[in-house]
Structure 1
Amino acid sequence: MATSDCQAKIDEGLYSRQLYVLGHEAMRKMVSSDVFISGMKGLGVEIAKNIILSGVKSVTIHDMGSVHWCDLSSQFYFSEDDLGKNRAEVSQVHLAELNNYVPVFVYTAQLTDSFLAKFQVVVLTDSSMEEMLHIGDFCHSRSIPFITANTKGLFGQLFCDFGEDFVVSDPNGEEPISALVHHISQGCPGVVTCLGAHSHGFVDGDFVTFSDIEGMTELNGYEPIKIRVLGPYSFEIEDTTFFSKYEKGGVVTEVKMPARICFEPLRASLKNPTISLVDYDKLECFKTLHLAFQALHLFVKEQKDLPKPRDQLDADRLLELTRDLNNQTSFQDHLNENLVRMFSYVSAGDLSPINAFLGGVTAQEVLKACSGKFTPLQQWLYFDALNCLPEDDKLLTKETCALRQSRYDGQIAVFGADFQERLGKQKYFVVGAGAIGCELLKNFAMIGLGAAEGGSIIVTDMDSIERSNLSRQFLFRASDISKMKSETAAAAIRRMNPECQVKAHRDSVGTSTEHVYNDDFFQELDGVAVAVDNIKARMYMDQRCIYYQKLLLESGTLGTKGHTQVIVPFLTNTYGTASDTSETAFPMCTLKNFPSTIEHTLQWARDEFEGLFKQQADRVNQYLQDSSFLDRIDRLMDAEALEILETIHSRLVTERPNSWKDCITWARNHWQELFHNNIQQLLHIFPPDQTTSSGVPFWYGDKRCPHPLQFDSCNKMHLDYIVAAANLYAQNYKLPGSRDRNAIQCIVDTVTVSPFIPKSEVKIHVSDEEMKEFVKDVDQQQLEELKTILADASSHRAYVMDPVHFEKDNDINFHMDFIVAASNLRAENYGIPQADRHKSKLIAGRIIPAITTTTSAVAGLVCLELYKAVWGHQQLSSYRNSFLNLAQPFFVFVQPQQAPVQKIQQQEWTDWDRFEVRGIKKDGEEMTLEDLFNSLKTEHQMGVIMLCYGTALLYARFLSESDQQEALGQRVTDRVRSITGEQIPAHLKTLVFEIVCSGEEEDLKLPPVHYHIF
């Protein structure tokens, strides 16, 4: 379908995080695609919501049915006032608010071929088999991608047919792999050997290109070559016999080649299905479900309704129909008859978490159909969550699961009324109201979590809503920008379910708010759901949940990838022990002197920004405003003290600008220092022909030999740096800047820069270890002079500086202008391929790519684990941690790891255990340290030889006899106060001590002591 230029424009501010997942080409195809979705129950609205937020051209929703009680359990835009109204018409009003760029149309008549022919993708949910077959045939004949999705209680089904010649432009969305070349042989075939401590990462059949090769230059710019992998560091290419001899250098880079996929139509695939594996523990179930879903269509056609919850006669009939289908198929398989019965028991249910999961997966398939980006599902997916049912199946009966005209009927049909009452009384703490937080809160509202008397949801988020949030945080609208996320999200879910008892906080979580989230707060909770995007907050909440022995639901996304983890007290291991919480950092010497990738230059540019425009200004202000600042400087090592004082003196005296022209002059001189002088100095110490002690060239492999740049004001990138740096420097000093490039160019051309003079005394480190061991000679006279000059800060008080805080999403504040220019100039120094603004913003801004489809799926899976926790499941095998990649699509569901057990002196401990001690004795007096030790000896046979409170040592056997006796005689709280020199915070009801006890062979570190003082 033709699309005008204005329609095809992409709002990068709105879709910024999604663009890092899909890319501009895929987005351009999406904004040209009209999507049709039939069925506006819970699953249909989930798919529509995700597609609209993602930014297709238009969405048309269709439903000829009216709102029923059962719909309210998962369709978040329905209310009791909508009962009897058309589902599509009610939904359209709300869906149209999600994205101003995506018009939402309603269609409520019978579907015709001529009507469907205008769409680029057709999606059916809750359709009859006859309708699916007819529309599937029509779409296949017209090469219109066709998707059908269904959820029934705890079961889900998805089918995709994108035609007989569907082109996938990028199968996985990953950055192309690249590796440094060590050697290329002349032969047939040629053998390429790669440098590095890690595998090259290529696989058989990959296509690659070469660049920067010296000697065998014929390969530079050569068309993509198919490879055959020989090992982790080598692979074969085509005949290189007659190419020039390889000398050195070069980069080999993967090329994504288009792939063509042929899909079977629905009619043929029903008889001979290709089923994607989801849960490897349930391999035998998928073909049974394939037949059971078909049998359900026959049942509904025959009975005019779905099987009644927990009805044995209906289950018998559905099983009979399934057996008949199995006898008719060409792949006759062993039927899991119990699975068919369970399918019958719950098929009348409609669960928000199941719809969220399958709605996210389905919506991603729609985006694949629109864009050709990522690998489509081939062709069936079946999913079940039967382990959400009680471990004792006798708890559910036909009577307890009977429908009762309640907004939770769709859930009661699966879990019963008693469970619904239990859900309503839960108290949960949600940390984060961003993308995952919004989806979790929506699901919590739909399932009625904390919606009864005595229940509650507390959500906290200290952030306000930004425009870039709107494409994936669906509880927010453009009119909500600048409002607090937690308060806006809480108000939104109250509208979805007026019974929802939700409270919004604005606090961060950490040691600074433990007076808010204190003992009383946590002891009332049933669980915590963490929806934050940083490891530090996750680790902190993990420790809090261990401390209070509370369930933790953890999840995260990265583009199309997602994970969930359920942490159950005394049953599973913790987040900290189960997850890789390390964050990688580039070596300092690499960033400072030897960058080899654009990631290195971007990190260097970000560090330059922080150092020049924030940290230096912060230090100046500390000096000006803190009378004890110089006293603290005296306690530092001389080299560090000199560096700080030099910075303060230069920013306040030698380099302090008095005018805009001075700012330009500073920027020009700084350009010269960074991109010319520093490089000249590096080459002075390590010339291009430098060799190591072993005779190997110094500039080899990942050490790129740089070259200095010559400033040219007519070079756009050179002037970009001057404009951005000068304006940021002016902001530091509260001077007016300018965007007039012509005027800036005229001024910068008048600046005279000093010629470079090499310094023989400069030391350049080639490794971080060398850098750490180096002790810099300090000019003591200069240090003392600076201390004297800066002794009186009052003479500079008028020059309080304005630190610049990095903000990546503001395109007119010069922040990204500076980083892009600085990074690319340094990349030019070292011959590194440069990055555009979009990629630079991703890396330097440390942006986490995000898309609503993954968020929806992950939040659904989290809530399935919540169901199990509310039931009180005690079997580890009932729970699942999940890992998914919707781009592939790839799903792994695994049983959580058991909490590791340590055995000490015939007793077993896990991270969840502790020694509980009541600090107040029966007579009302508090224990002394000696009383505490005696209690531990009597109750647990532990002889304490060391006691610590945080970093404070309260007692140890190596203390003198008199000090030991003094400590043992003190009340425990008095001992804490005397050693720490601080009062115990009023909100603390429990003190946590670490103890070391004497063992037969060695001293033993044991679980902590929780000493209750109230």
Structure 2
Amino acid sequence: MCLLGRSRMNALESHLEIDEGLYSRQIYVLGYDAMQRMTGSSVLVSGMKGVGVETAKNIILAGVKSVTVHDQGDAQWSDLSSQFFLSEGDVGQNRAVVSQRHLAELNSYVPVVAYTEELSEKFLSAFQVVVLTNSSLEEQLRISDFCHANNICFILADTKGLPPSCPSGPWFMASSVFLPLQGCPGVVTIACEEKQEHFENGGMVTFSRVEGMTELNNSEPQPVCVLGPYHLEIGDTTTFSPYHRGGTITQVKMPQTHSYEPLSATLTHPKIKIKDKGKLTHYCTLHMAFQALHAFQSKMGRLPRPRNQVTTSRSLVILARAVSLAQDLAGWQAPLDEELVRAFAAVSAGDLSPINAVIGAMAAQEVLKAASGKFTPLDQWFYFDAWECLPEQEHSVPLSEQDCAPRGSRYDGQIAVFGADFQERLGQQKYFVVGAGAIGCELLKNFGMIGLAAGKGGRITVTDMDTIERSNLNRQFLFRPQDVSKQKSEVAAAAVRHMNPYTNVTAHQDCLGPDTEQLYGDNFFLGLDGVATALDNPQARVYVGERCVQYLKPLLDSGTEGTKGHVQVFVPFLTESYGHAMDLAEKTYPLCTLRHFPTAIQHTLQWARDQFEGLFKKSAENVNTFVPREALEKLELVHSSLQEKPLSWGECVAWARRLWEQLFRNDIQQLLYNFPPDHVRHSPSYRKSGSSPSPLFPLPLDTHMAFILAASRLFAQTHRLQVSGDEVAARQVLLVLCLPPFQPCQGLHIPTTDQELKETSDTVGKESTMGHRPLPSLSALLGTGLTPLSLCPSKGDDNSNFHLNFIVAASNLRAENYGIPTADWLQSKRIVGRIVPAIATTTAAVAGLVCLELYKLVWGHKDLGSYRQSFLRLAEPMFIFSFSVSLPHSQFCQKTWTCWDRIEVPGVTGSGEEMTLGDLRDHLQKEHGLALRMLLYREAVLYAAFWSSEKLKEQLANR
């Protein structure tokens, strides 16, 4: 892949409203401003073979202004190996015309046009970004020069078997990325507990909300020197005012300009993005091999025949030598690996869906960078190969020209690389795909293209209990608007069968876990060849990993977050297990931080959600529990809820106003009464909060009124009160409502640590006052025929029913109390709903890398060095590939064992009878020298040596 160009491309401003319901996960990746700029760019994608359709698909899902797909060629059988929008009935028809129909369904906001004529300069001038795939070198040079001269971003993406290339074009401004952190003067100490981005030496920061040293506020960005993870040096502050408290430090990425040479210049003097420093010669050879391949194709009118080791390889090596000599004369000297050129010639006629997925995702991400001005562009050539997917030499017979010859099959592009026998082996595979979301859709698409489980005895089982939501359509490309509310697994399976009718895929809607082990038990797992997870739940992935260890099945795991992604493969008796690789520690906040000393918007949002749960869910649960049976331990909370039962909209508003007063004025004033701002002996929790809290005043601000209205409506809903929710009427109630002035509570103890809080709660729990009240007063409140209250379970990513309205308003009011920067609706929704930022490009790249590891599993690779753990960041772009982690070994009773080892027990005695528990104990002692002390099956104790003799006798006789 290569990015080429010269002049700055101005991202066109667009004022189109962004559909947050569709693009919400992507907005979290790119930002709202970048999304709007992107909607001003028209993109041309030329070449509708595998890599071209992958690129176009990702760009359309992202939401640019328009996409034109171009191709003058007709569909061939070999195209079906990776072009998922072509079918067998489309062979002989124009690729662009056929693809346009399907691509246009992906996003109604993006017009998609097919073009089948030559690419004239007049036609090219209508686009802001041009992507070429599957084009001749002469065409690439012509269009590159035109784009370079006309400020059009030019991206070249090409794949040939296992080693693809991708260059990219003109320069543009990278958008700012902000990270708020708290700090102190001189040497700034970062006190925020939240996950931080790393500061860099020379990185630029700005300051705000600093009390005392106000010279820092709103100053120009200044460089920092990193002293440690939480300490930064900002230079001389001796002349500044004394620092008092608080402050926010914001990391700012300054706009940068990127300039690129045209293709003609970079052919002889390339800048190659090196993902492995030890492979410089390797990548330089691939750079020359691609040029030699263009020369061969121009001379012969075809690609080299697969595995033709006599004429084809010799010809390509000669051409590569000529390219190398020309580059030597031009001053760019790099050694030529002729053996690598021969290997390149052997597979260059191939067309692999996983490779196209990776390069198509990269090319699309570079388009989005050019269109949005977001992130760092590729500089300037990128080569990616996967030679490890070929058979290991010591374990196989070398592939021959006959093995890889075309057969008039939809898999000819893949057979050209791996041979027909391997294709048959792929068709017989039995795989379990857990999850049919974004990664699951891409995996299933790739599985369909490569022919996994498309033969006799093959089977793919996919399970997902979720239904399709509108926000899924932005990156889960197997789904369409008419599929919303349908089961993900069923729709995805049907889509894959449409792409490849031979794929044997079965859809389930079950949650994989202990409750479904009767369905997914011994018979199911023992019949599998492997498992691929597409889950966003770490606990679920650990469970799948444990099942794979139990049944000795390889596991393909992957995940994404924004432009970051990872792929790991776990192979029995070769690599570590999934459980060894994962750290499941979940971020939690001390209760005292949430209740009294918040320092970040995450704290105030969690506090607001807790308030929501307590006010509108738990209070209703308490009343509903009491209605059918008198639960005395809940009487106090029930009494409070019933006393506040409203009879009108005005009473709901009055309740909400009193709640506002308590939460954002009285509670804060009580905290200040206990801990005055200049008090020096308060807790570390209080000191870490930076600014002292300030009570809010009931001003007619939008946030204040938003809280009142949301709380009033939720209170009315909880009590099943039919009200209008009228804002005008609410304001009238507020005008006449009088509240008593705040009176501090003398002697009130406010815990400053979680241990103090626990001790206080234990004490209060022993001193319930309600239990001594006479029941008749409560009975009067109950009356007759009490209707259960309506529960409002919090749905952090649900815009309906005012749930999020309340949480966002309450959080931002709390943030104002403590001088914490507030968060807008979208950001709050992401944090509360724990929504993972997502974009289609990363998902596609990750799924492609998963399938490359799948090839190795199907071959049965035994060398640990063949498998890769992959980590990528398309924003940079950066790819890191490392060997899979070797298997940890342990010693016990002079035996070496691993997590994959187990003791095989025959299950029957020598006489053929089924073993009793006593027989098992004796077998372990005799055959393995193990004295059984306790035997467990999950939580159940099957045997314990300390049991009584009577119980042991009874238990040992069980079978």
- Give me the TM-score of the superposition, normalised by structure 1: 0.89
Per-residue displacement from partner, 1:167-202 (whole Å, max 9, x unpaired)?
Answer: 2224xx5x4252321x33xxxxxx545557999942
- Pick aligned residue for 1:595 from 598, 601, 604: 598
| Structure 1 residue identity aligned to 2:324 | N
Give the whole-Å Cα distance in 1 for the aligned partners of 2:954 and 2:524: 36
The equivalent position to 2:556 in structure 1, one of 553, 556, 562, is: 553
- The alpha carbon displacement at 1:754 in A equals 4.0
Opposite residue 668 of structure 1, the aligned amino acid is R
Indicate the larger mover: 284-293 or 37-46: 284-293
- The answer to whether the 8 A contact 2:597-2:686 is kept is no
Q: CA deviation at 1:149?
A: 0.4
Q: Distance in 1 between matches of 2:668 and 2:791?
A: 29
Extract unaligned runs of 5+ from structure 2: 1-8
| Aligned counterpart, 1:344 | 345
Classify 1:442/1:335 alpha carbon distance in 2 versus 1 (closer, same or farther; 3 Å): same
For the residue of structure 2 that corresponds to 1:563, the secondary structure is strand
1:684 deviates by 2.0
Distance in 1 between residues matched to 2:577 and 2:757, nearest whole Å: 37
Asked whether the equivalents of residues 635 and 771 of structure 2 are also in contact (C-alpha less than 8 Å), the reply is no
Instruction: Give the Cα separation in 2 of the matches to 1:583 and 1:697.
Output: 23
Aligned to 2:283: 286
Range 268-277 or range 744-753, more displaced: 744-753
Shift of 1:75: 0.2
Q: Show CA shifts across 1:346-392 (max 9, x none).
A: 11111111111111111000100111100000001001111111113
1:372-424 per-residue CA deviation (whole Å, 9 max, x = no partner) reads 10000000100111111111352421111110000111111111111111111
Separation of aligned partners in 2, 1:396 and 1:258? 51
**Counterparts of residues 690-839 of structure 1 (less than 5 Å):** 690-692=679-681, 700-712=687-699, 714-774=700-760, 775-778=762-765, 780=767, 782-785=769-772, 798-839=786-827
Q: What is the aligned partner in structure 1 of residue 3 from structure 2?
A: none
Change (3 A) 1:757 1:426: same
How do 1:635-714 residues align onto structure 2 when only pairs under 5 Å count?
Answer: 641=633, 644-651=634-641, 653-692=642-681, 700-712=687-699, 714=700
Deviation at 1:733, TM superposition (A): 2.2
Q: Is the 2:182–2:246 Cα contact (8 Å) retained in structure 1?
A: no
> Of 25, 48, 53, which residue of structure 2 is paired with 1:45?
53
Residue equivalent to 1:301: 298
Residue 323 (structure 1) aligns with: 321
Superposed displacement of residue 161, structure 1:
2.1
Match 2:26 to one of 2, 18, 38: 18
Counterpart check, 1:894 vs 2:894: no
SS, match of residue 151 in structure 1:
coil
User: What is the SS of the residue equivalent to 1:259?
Assistant: coil
Q: Which residue number corresponds to residue 62 of structure 1?
A: 70
Cα distance between partner residues in 1 of 2:86 and 2:276: 33
2:686 touches 2:752 (CA, 8 Å); kept in 1?
no
Query: What does residue range 832-871 of structure 1 map to in structure 2 within 5 Å?
Result: 832-871=820-859
Query: Could you tell me which amino acid in structure 1 is paired with residue 333 of structure 2?
Result: Q
Equivalent residue, structure 2, for 1:874? 862
Cross-structure match for 2:138: 130
For 2:491 and 2:596, locate their aligned partners in 1 and report how far apart those are by CA, in whole Å.
Answer: 48
Question: Match for residue 439 of structure 1?
Answer: 442
Aligned-pair CA distance for 1:788: 6.1
Q: Deviations over 1:474-493 (max 9, x none)?
A: 01111111111111111111
Q: Do 2:11 and 2:370's aligned partners in 1 also have CA atoms closer than 8 Å?
A: no
Partner of 1:388: 389
Q: How far apart in 1 are the matches of 2:11 and 2:164?
A: 35
The separation in 1 between residues aligned to 2:318 and 2:180, in whole angstroms, is 53
Corresponding residue of 1:940: 928
- Name 2:94's counterpart in structure 1: 86
Partner SS, residue 868 of structure 1: helix
Q: 5 Å matches for 1:204-603?
A: 204-237=201-234, 239-280=236-277, 282-312=279-309, 313-329=311-327, 330-392=331-393, 394-603=397-606
| Equivalent-residue separation in structure 1 for 2:654 and 2:745 (angstroms) | 24
1:115 is aligned to 2:135: no
Q: CA deviation at 1:333?
A: 2.3
Letter in 1 for 2:639: H
- The structure-2 alpha-carbon separation of the partners of 1:234 and 1:7, relative to structure 1 and needing over 3 Å to count, comes to closer
Query: How big is the shift at 1:850?
Result: 0.4
* Higher mean C-alpha deviation, range 54-63 or range 336-345: 336-345
1:619 shift after superposition: 4.0
2-side partners of 1:871 and 1:27: how far apart? 43
Classify 1:316/1:545 alpha carbon distance in 2 versus 1 (closer, same or farther; 3 Å). same
Whether the 8 Å contact between 2:533 and 2:558 is mirrored in structure 1 is yes
Q: CA deviation at 1:316?
A: 1.6
Is 1:613 aligned to 2:616, yes or no?
yes
Letter matched to residue 169 of structure 1:
S
Cα distance in 1 between the residues matched to 2:544 and 2:907: 26
In structure 2, the residue matched to 1:1000 is: none
Verify: 1:167 aligned to 2:193, yes or no.
no
AA in 2 matched with 1:880: R
Q: Which moved more, 1:486-495 or 1:386-395?
A: 386-395
Question: Does the 8 A contact of 2:11 with 2:373 survive in 1?
Answer: no
Contact 2:12 2:38 survives alignment (8 Å): no
CA distance in 2, matches of 1:704, 1:485: 48
Q: In structure 2, what is the equivalent of residue 907 of structure 1?
A: 895
1:829, 1:235 → 2: CA distance? 27
**CA spacing shift, 1:605–1:195, aligned 2, 3 Å:** closer
Moved more, 798-807 or 958-967: 958-967
The 3 A distance-change label for structure 1 pair 916 and 151 is: same
CA–CA separation in structure 2 for the residues paired with 1:378 and 1:5 = 25
Q: 1:761 to 1:947 in 2, by over 3 A?
A: farther
1:586 shift after superposition = 1.4
Q: Which amino acid aligns with 2:284?
A: K
SS in 1 for 2:168: strand
Q: With the length of structure 2 as denominator, give the TM-score of the two structures.
A: 0.94
Whether the 8 Å CA contact 1:279–1:891 is kept in 2: the answer is no
What's the CA shift string for 1:852-881, capped at 9, x where partnerless?
A: 000000000001111111111111111111
| Count of residues in correspondence between the two structures | 942
The superposition leaves residues 33-65 of structure 1 with CA deviations (integer Å, 9 ceiling, x where unpaired) of 000010000100000000000000000110000
Percent identity between matched residues is 54
- Whether contact under 8 Å (1:691, 1:697) holds in the other structure is no
Report if aligned partners of 1:200, 1:233 keep a CA contact under 8 Å in 2. Answer: no
Residue by residue over 1:91-148, the C-alpha shift from the partner in whole angstroms, topping out at 9 and shown as x without a partner, is 0010011110100111111111111111000100011001101111111111211100
Q: Secondary structure at the match of 1:662?
A: helix
Q: CA deviation at 1:458?
A: 1.1
State the one-letter code of the partner of 2:672. Answer: L
Aligned equivalents of 1:911 and 1:795: distance in 2? Answer: 63
- 1:604 deviates by 1.1
Q: 2:240 is aligned with what amino acid? A: F
Q: Is the 8 A contact 2:106 2:480 kept in 1?
A: yes
Q: Deviations over 1:781-818 (max 9, x none)?
A: 63534796789999776422222233345434212211
CA distance in 2, matches of 1:286, 1:220: 48
Contact 1:595 1:704 in 2 (8 A): no
